[in-house]
Amino acid sequence: MKLTPPTIKDIADRANVSISTVSRALNNKSVVRQDTRTAVLEAAKLLGYEVNVFARGLAGGQSMTIGVVSREIGCTLYDTVMQGVIRGFAGTGYSPIFIEGQSGEDFGGEMIQKLISRRVDGIMTLGGDDTFPENLLNHLPEELPAIVIGKSVKGWEKRCVVTDNFGASYQATQLLIENGHRDIAIIRGDMHIQDAISRYDGYCKALEDANLKVLPDLIQNGDFLAHSGLMGIHALLARGKPFTAVVCGNDQMAIGAKLALQRRGIRVPEDVSLIGFDDEPLSAYVSPPLTTLRQSGVEMGRIAAKGLIDLISAGSCELPLLACELVERESVAKLRST
């Protein structure tokens, strides 16, 4: 590797133009004549020129850096979203940097400072709870392009990449209802998290639309981890209120629930149907294979990245509402007539 990479000065010499022209040609400003531009571009290519991000950033140009800020990660979905983000930015010149806020962190403070310090060209937020990402967004300079992933934030609807959790959950619950189930329990995810809330709402709506009651005895809280699914079943059972199906906040909890049921001698799906969310890699390989609603984290990340780039360059972006795909496997069965 060359110790001192070529600079625009080198290009300028080689192409017999001034460095300003080189800069303009490289940045696709319109004021360069076509043949000069190609000459410059050729010289640049020949020299293996790569812009010095720092110099550009300093000079007031773009930093080509995107700040991706999230609350504590640890949820499988957002891991894959990160992947999608990385891929989405690959080859675009932008580099995402990830900032993970510890819970309870002062988002207005340190985090913003870090973003400023790096002069990010845009930011993305990952995930949502009661206060995040609103607390961050509120402190952001108006003109900084931002995309929100995983929560539909008031006033930012056009800039949110979300899966239709409500609709998906509605669909899941409806599937259960169509199969004859009446006593449908739910093990919710962490209700501080937006996804959990939307899914719960979808469950309620589906029930109501079918003239079924939402019974507190059939509602159990979890935290998206398998263990809470398992404990959830025990809690549900302990209440004595019978149920024949359970909507689970995600696959992990569904699998925990499944285990708890099976250990108690309750068969899935013969006695109790189960449905999850996310379609994790393993969900197809448990017994019975889990019926679930698939959403692609990678896709979310990709879309968000593309959206943010559009936002930066064009000032606007088009973001589709991502639908979940129902993956019917074997954990849901028709209610046996008793």
* Site residues, a second copy (CB under 8 A): 1, 3, 5, 48, 50-58, 63, 65, 73-74, 76, 79-80, 82-83, 86-87, 90, 95-100, 102, 112-114, 116-119, 139-141, 225-226, 230, 252, 255-256, 258-259, 262, 280-282, 284-287
Output the CA–CA distances (angstroms, integers) from residue 113 to 60, 108, 124, 129, in the order listed: 18, 8, 15, 22
| Smallest distance from DNA to CB 149, Å | 29
Residues near DNA (CB under 7 A): 4, 7-9, 16-21, 23-24, 26-27, 30-33, 36, 49, 51-52, 55-56, 58-61
* Cβ distance to DNA smaller for residue 36 or 221: 36
Which one of a second copy, DNA, none is in contact with 18 (Cβ closer than 5 to 8 A by kind)?
A: DNA
Structure tokens belonging to residue 47: 């020299």
Q: Which helix (H) or strand (E) holds 209?
A: helix 194-209
Q: From the list DNA, a second copy, none, which binds 48 (C-beta under 5 to 8 Å, kind-based)?
A: a second copy
Q: What are phi and psi for residue 203, nearest 5 degrees?
A: -60, -50
Output 94 or 170, the one with its CB closest to a second copy. Answer: 94
Q: How far is the CB of 225 from a second copy (least distance, A)?
A: 7
Q: Give 20 or 287: the residue with its C-beta nearer to a second copy.
A: 287
Q: Which is nearer to a second copy, 95 or 221 (CB)?
A: 95
Yes or no: say if 196 and 189 are a contact pair by the CB < 8 Å rule: yes
User: Which contacts (CB < 8 Å, 24+ apart) does range 22-29 have?
Assistant: 26/51, 27/61
CB burial readout 260-282, b (16+ within 10 A) else e: bbbeeeeebbeebbbbbbbbbee
Smallest separation, CB 109 to DNA (Å): 18
Residue 291 interface partner, choices a second copy, DNA, none, CB cut-off 5-8 Å depending on type: none
Tokens describing residue 220 = 């159990």
Q: Minimum Å distance from CB 80 to a second copy?
A: 7
Nearest approach, Cβ of residue 116 and a second copy (Å): 5
In the beta sheet, which residues pair with residue 123?
A: 67, 146
Name the nearest CA neighbour of 328 among 295, 292, 296.
292
